[in-house]
Structure 1
């Protein structure tokens, strides 16, 4: 059975998978484009027209491009462990690349900051519980006081029967987006076996334990949840 790291390698290091990545979140995450727009608005509440933003899990460059398109005075530090995904970010960012510093690795390679805001979208579920706690603490330590942090990941109830139901809903949504049913089922099985998916209440508790305050749910799209909180 593949490990979580092997699953990530297959998804984010294989050239064919990387080339197909820009379409994947749009098929899997309900309201993906609107969610990115909401994140931009929530960041703008505290950051204003200029600021330095830390983007954890920046490979692919999708949210970086949305942020950079919306805010021409913002600068960014993006962190991701996959060289292939970082190269895709460079391609997608195009002329915005001059405002973005990309760092290969996990949160420990990120500059100390302090940053005006941080995001971690569709990334936390790849980390086990201990690593997730370390990530959250490290992100908060790089933020200015009261700076916003936005995280979004797979998050749904884990009680008997509920986990299976939510995974089935995820699969049904992906199929409705045009993904081959067999591939969607295989993806769901891989998610079930290898990703660390928590109950939403536990996700919120981890944010508070890391020192974030005013934790608020801003997005819920079937199997995904997103929160905004403050350092």
Structure 2
């Protein structure tokens, strides 16, 4: 093997190899974080205009959490008609494009986020509500709206508390002995205190 080619080979346990692996892991983490932030930004670009259309004609100054959660639910269910159509085509064996199937999976994933937590405009903040109503639609100013996470509790997490066990009839029929009914050791007569006449009659 030529001398120049031998120099390019890096031992897997060398310091250089460890540095290269660490740099690769850092690059992958940065890429993943960038994609997550991009996804959150795209979600904001959709949810903010959608919520604005719903509250633009209202006169509510400050929404309750339940009212705001209802608006968020309308947002995550905005593609229900398309999802129903795609599911019907799947069941009947009709052709569904790969892009449509991937898009349907993304919409279903978004619907599930209502239980894990989805970010939207803070409608409990009166100042945010006023600014959202007069917003001109400029996406560069979306980051000026305060956001909060909305979460709807799942029904299967609500469990009834177990009832206390009732005493059985057999246990109630036999009362437990009280401390006063049990004779103390000092109250039990010893053999020395038994009359001698009684003992002689027993012998006869």
Bucket of the pairwise TM-score, normalised by the shorter protein: under 0.3
Write 1 or 2 for the structure with the bigger share of strand. Answer: 1
**Structure 1 length as normaliser, TM-score?**
0.17
Which has a greater percent of helix?
A: 2
